[in-house]
Amino acid sequence: MRQVTERELTTVTGERLRVPDPDRLVHLQFRRFAGCPVCNLHLRSIAQRHDEIVDARIREVVFFHSPASELRDHDLPFAVIADPDKHYYREFGVESSPRALLHPRTWGAILRGAAMTLLGKYRPPAARQEGGRLGLPADFLLDPTGRVLAAKYGEHAYDQWSVDELLSHARPH
């Protein structure tokens, strides 16, 4: 995907936002499901450094294949989009795979995320996940015209850009 057509998205809190954003870069993240321990671990790192991301003129937009009702109670400082039918996942070529959880690099994140969930630091996921549990993450950085400046399709559930990688991709632009 080289270009993203302009669209208006509605967040789980009812905010409307334009993608691409005419005034800044947009980081589109495709995560798994609401309460996913691995996603929670990653998104906590994004939330902790959100001010740096905003200062770099980047808008965070995170998609989940969960319904809005399961996402509203998660306290995240950026735009969250519910896509339970995986419309945007298909459009952007974001896939699911058994390797999502089987890759050895995922195991530590699974254990840390599960421990944080058991300790009550993260909201637990719903027992049943309509969109499945085997989603792979993906990251896209868009310029204000919608041109995809950089993209990453994860090979396992914890294979996504770190904040440092995101900022590095944004720096030249």
Q: At what angle do helices 104-118 and 37-48 cross, to 10 degrees?
A: 80
| Whole-model pTM over 0.95 | no
The dihedrals phi and psi of 68, each to the nearest 5 degrees, come to -55, -35
Q: What is the pLDDT of residue 69?
A: 87
Structural domains in the chain?
22-170 (3.40.30.10)
Asked if residue 36 lies in contact with residue 29, where contact means CB atoms within 8 angstroms, the answer is no
Question: Degrees (nearest 5) of the Cα angle 95, 106, 137?
Answer: 25
Of 131 and 108, the one with more pLDDT: 108
Q: What is the pLDDT of residue 34?
A: 79
Question: Degrees (nearest 5) of the Cα angle 71, 83, 171?
Answer: 85
**Residue where the block lists tokens 């334009």:** 18
Mean pLDDT of 150-157: 93
Q: What is the pLDDT of residue 116?
A: 72
Q: Is 128 helix (H, G, I), strand (E, B) or coil?
A: coil
Reported as a single tens digit per residue, the pLDDT across 116-145 is: 777 777 776 666 767 666 789 999 999 999
Q: Is 28 helix (H, G, I), strand (E, B) or coil?
A: strand
